[in-house]
Amino acid sequence: MNEEMKNQTEQLPLLKVHMMGSFFLEYGDQPISFRKTMATKSMRLLQIFLYNKDNGISRGRLLESTYGREDVADAANSLRVGVHRLKRSLVEAGLPQFEYIYTQKGVYHWTSPMPVEVDAIDIKNKILEAGKETDEKARMDQMIEALELYTGEFLADFGEEEWVQAERAQLKKVYSDALKEVSEYLLKNEEFDELQKLTSVASELYPFDEWQAVQMQALIGLERYKRGHETVRADLENITLKELGVTPSEKLVEQYRYLGSRMGSRHRVIEEVQADLQESPGEKGGAFFCSLAGFRDCYRLVYRMSELNGQMPWLMLCTITDGKGYPAKGGPRLDRMSEKLLEVMKRSLRHSDFFAKYSPSQYVILLQGGSQRGCELVYKRISERFSEEKKGWAKNLKYSALPAIQTEKELEFLEGDDVL
C-alpha cells in the first residue's frame, strides 16, 4: 500500500462487519443497506470475501463454497458476473468508489480504502492473543472482550452452506472453551456480575450445554435467589420438555432446590408473605396450569387431603397421537397441537382443577372430586374444543384415567430422577 493510499485509509471511517448473529455492515455510524434486488449469491460472495479478507480465498474453494455442484464453466461465468455485481452493489450502498475485490495467482482478495473489522475474526484473534499472555488477569480481560463479541451464532441466517456450518462449529468450540476458562476464573475471584452477564448469553444461545448451571452459581453469589429460581424453573419446564429423553443435570436440579430454599431467607411480615404467595390477576382465569414439579407436589397434597375428606380425585392423561394411536413425533405440527391443547384445557377444566405438561405430547390433569363418568365428560369437552378449528385433529387425541393413587408403588409413572 503506497503512502497516499495509507493516508486515505486512515482518514476514512471504519467498516464494521457483523457476522455473529444477523449479518450486517456499518460504515462509520451508519448501517449499510443493500438493495432488495441484490442477488443472494452476491451476498454470499461478500460474506466469504470479508471473512477471508486477511489471506484471500482460492478460486476453487470459492466456486465450491458458492456454486456447489453447478457445471464448472457455468459456475466460473456466474462467479465473474457475481463479483462484478457485488462491486457495483457496494458503491450503490454508500461505500466509496473502489475496486474491493481483485485476483492474484488464482486467489481472490478483499481490498478496501477504509479499515475493516469483522467480529468473528476478532473473536478468534483476541482469544489467540490472550493465550500468549502470561499475566492471568490480562489474559482473562482479553478473553472477556472476545466473549462479549459473541452475540449470536456465526451467520445465523445463512446456515445451509457447508463452509458456514464448519466455521460455526469451530467458533462455538473456541467460544465454549474460552467461556469455561473465564467462568472458573470469575467464580474463583467472586466476580459474579460479569459471570452472570456472560453466561446469560450462553444459556440463551446454547440451552442444552448446561451454562444455566454456571449462571445460577453467579446469581447465588449475587444473592438474586428469586430471579435465579425463576430462570432455572423456566429451563427445567420449557427446555427439557421440548426434546424427548432430555433431562436436566443433577447440578441444575440441586441449584433449583437450593434457590427455592433461599427465596424465603429474608425476614418478612405475614402480609408480605401472603402477597408473595398469591396469584397475579392474570393467572386466576381457568384451571391452574403448573410445572410438573409443582403438579407432583400438588398431587401428593391432594392425595393426603382425600384421605381426610373422602373426596377421591381422578388422574387423567391426555396424549396427542399420530392419528393411529401412537404418540406424535416432534415437529411444528406437534408444537401447534400442543399449544392448542394447552389453551383448550385452560378453558375446559374447572377453576379448582390443575394440570401440567408431562411430555412433548402429553398433559396430566387432576380432577377434584371426579369420577369415571366425569372424566369421560371432561375429555369430550376437551376433544370437541381441540378439533373445533381443524376437524381432523379429533382422531389425534386420546386419554386414560384412574382414581387417585392408592399406594406408592402405583405412583411410579410420576416418580423419577428426571424431574424435580
Give the CATH fold of the 287-414 domain.
Alpha-Beta Plaits (3.30.70)
Q: Is 8 exposed, middle or buried (0-12, 13-18, 19+ CB in 10 A)?
A: middle
Residue extent(s) of CATH 3.30.70.270 domains in the chain: 287-414
Q: Beta-carbon neighbour count of residue 347 at 10 Å?
A: 12
What backbone phi and psi angles, to 5 degrees, belong to 408?
A: -65, -30
The residues pairing with 356 across neighbouring beta strands, listed in sequence order, are: 364
What backbone phi and psi angles, to 5 degrees, belong to 10?
A: -70, -25
What backbone phi and psi angles, to 5 degrees, belong to 402?
A: -155, 155
Cα–Cα distance, 402 to 376 (Å, whole number): 11
Cell digits of residue 231: 430462570
* Residue type present at position 150: Y
Task: Give the model's pLDDT for residue 72.
Answer: 58
Which CATH class name applies to 33-114? mainly alpha
Strands 101-104, 107-110: pairing is: antiparallel
Nearest CA among 177, 199, 172, 296 for reference residue 255? 199
Q: Is 187 exposed, middle or buried (0-12, 13-18, 19+ CB in 10 A)?
A: middle
Q: Is 46 exposed, middle or buried (0-12, 13-18, 19+ CB in 10 A)?
A: buried
Tell me the CB-side half-sphere exposure of residue 174, using CA atoms within 13 A: 26
Nearest CA among 181, 203, 162, 208 for reference residue 65? 162
Cell digits of residue 243: 426434546
Burial 193-220 (b: 16+ CB within 10 A, else e): ebbbebbbbbbebbbeebbbbbbbbbbb
Task: Give the model's pLDDT for residue 40.
Answer: 80
Cell digits of residue 140: 482473562
Nearest CA among 153, 149, 142 for reference residue 181? 142
Task: Give the model's pLDDT for residue 257.
Answer: 60
- Residue in this structure with the C-alpha cell 396469584, named with its chain if needed: 279
Residue extent(s) of CATH 1.10.10.10 domains in the chain: 33-114
What backbone phi and psi angles, to 5 degrees, belong to 29?
A: -105, 5
**CATH number at 120-262:** 1.25.40.10
Task: Give the model's pLDDT for residue 91.
Answer: 93
Structure pTM?
0.59
Residue extent(s) of CATH 1.25.40.10 domains in the chain: 120-262
Task: Give the model's pLDDT for residue 69.
Answer: 64
pLDDT by residue, tens only, the chain of 420 residues: 455 555 555 589 999 999 999 899 999 988 998 887 777 888 899 999 999 999 999 999 998 888 776 655 678 888 888 999 999 999 999 999 999 999 999 999 999 999 999 999 999 999 999 999 999 999 999 999 999 999 999 998 886 788 999 999 999 999 999 999 999 999 999 898 999 999 999 988 988 787 888 888 888 777 654 454 455 555 555 545 444 344 555 666 665 565 555 555 555 677 766 776 676 665 556 788 888 878 888 888 888 887 776 678 889 999 999 888 888 887 788 888 999 999 999 989 988 888 999 888 899 999 887 788 889 999 999 999 999 888 889 899 999 998 875 544 444 444 443 333
